[in-house]
Structure 1
Amino acid sequence: MTSLQAAGCGIIDRASGEPCPRPVAAGDLNLCARHLLEAYDAVVGEVGVTDALPAPCAVCGSRLGVLYASGWLCAVCEWRHGEVPDEGAESVRVEVVYYLARLDRIKIGTSSNPRARLAQIPHDELLAFERGGRDLEQRRHREFAHCRAGREWFDRDPLLLAHLERLRADAPADPWQLYLRWRSEATALLGHHPA
């Protein structure tokens, strides 16, 4: 334990208003083992844990998934593990990199089902979409690594804000309209009519 750490856990009990008396778990965080696990569960519930799916995705066949508190999603197409697709249903997938604002941070993530994904992420505003998948997302993470504030969260940096302005310059004011246009184009390429 460093000289900066307190002897006990840093969590204040809501009921009593007193500090947790348990000893601090090993590491740099001022939390006992119980509160450290509760914090881990909260983070897993928000950002998920990437791992192998229990079985291949029923839609795209991928073995890679993300486990959330609500269950497994395919990491490629975000189909909920265990759900059976309609017979003969052919889904149009458009991968996007999304930029979300929450307080003073910006999240850069990717999804081929952004409505479902964004519904799971607490955010204040959808800033922009950029067409592309994991490769583009990882390239953006490297490009803005100097302002990384967490796994996929970044500080509002002038270079990142300038990038967002470029994305929005030629796009509709509502990023969802741009996404719908991309889906419509992809549907047309398949020779289907959108529903």
Structure 2
Amino acid sequence: MQNQIPAGSDVNRKGRHGYWYDGERIDRQARERAEARERQSIAEMDAMPARFGLCYFIGNLEQGLVKIGYSKNVPGRRNRLSGSIPFPIRVLATATGGMDREAHYHHKFKGADIGGEWFTITPAILAEIARLNATRPADLGRGM
């Protein structure tokens, strides 16, 4: 007797070659692989020397805005930005990895993007800022 599956079920379906597969398990495995690739990518960016530039989070927590960018001179970048916006800003966090890390964060936080590398602060962005501040040395320009 052949296995029976309820009609319309998308958890278990018969594959092209006559075997069954578990859609939830496949989705979970895909998420786990993506998370492992992200951890590997972050580890590689963490290992990059600061001379390649720093990815920065500059903004104002009270205003709920943060700019995620890349610069070889983060204090100078903050000074240039502060002259063009109507509220005080400070460096919230920095990380090695330069442009690669900047692109990673822009993709990761694209749901909070409001344009021009500015993002509304979300719990995920705050968590990343806290993680960076816990792991980065103070000499990388944090808190200026």
TM norm structure 2? 0.53
The equivalent of 2:56 in structure 1 is 98
* Identical counterparts, % of pairs: 32
Q: Residue deviations 1:67-120, cap 9 Å, x none?
A: xxxxxxxxxxxxxxxxxxxxxxxxx93410010113220110100122222210
1:159 to 124, 129, 137: 124
Q: Residue deviations 1:126-180, cap 9 Å, x none?
A: 10111121111011100000111122011111111111111111345xxxx3327
Q: Which runs of 4+ in 1 moved over 2 A?
A: none
The equivalent of 1:144 in structure 2 is 109
> 1:129 is paired with a residue of what secondary structure?
strand
> 1:127 is paired with a residue of what secondary structure?
strand
With CA pairs under 8 Å and 6+ residues apart, which has the higher RCO, 1 or 2? Answer: 2
In the alignment, the residues of structure 2 paired with residue 167 and residue 116 of structure 1 have an alpha-carbon distance, to the nearest angstrom, of: 20
1:179 to 135, 140, 144: 140
> 1:120 is paired with a residue of what secondary structure?
helix
> 2:68 is paired with a residue of what secondary structure?
strand
Q: Residue deviations 1:8-43, cap 9 Å, x none?
A: xxxxxxxxxxxxxxxxxxxxxxxxxxxxxxxxxxxx
Q: Is the 8 A contact 2:66 2:120 kept in 1?
A: yes
> 1:149 is paired with a residue of what secondary structure?
strand
* Root-mean-square deviation over aligned CA pairs: 2.0
TM norm structure 1? 0.40
Q: Is the 8 A contact 2:78 2:89 kept in 1?
A: no
The equivalent of 2:68 in structure 1 is 108
In the alignment, the residues of structure 1 paired with residue 120 and residue 81 of structure 2 have an alpha-carbon distance, to the nearest angstrom, of: 17
- The structure that is helix-richer by fraction is 2
Q: Is the 8 A contact 2:95 2:136 kept in 1?
A: no
Query: Which ranges of structure 1 fall in alignment gaps of 5 or more residues?
Result: 1-91, 181-195
In the alignment, the residues of structure 2 paired with residue 101 and residue 154 of structure 1 have an alpha-carbon distance, to the nearest angstrom, of: 9
In the alignment, the residues of structure 2 paired with residue 156 and residue 146 of structure 1 have an alpha-carbon distance, to the nearest angstrom, of: 11
In the alignment, the residues of structure 2 paired with residue 165 and residue 116 of structure 1 have an alpha-carbon distance, to the nearest angstrom, of: 23
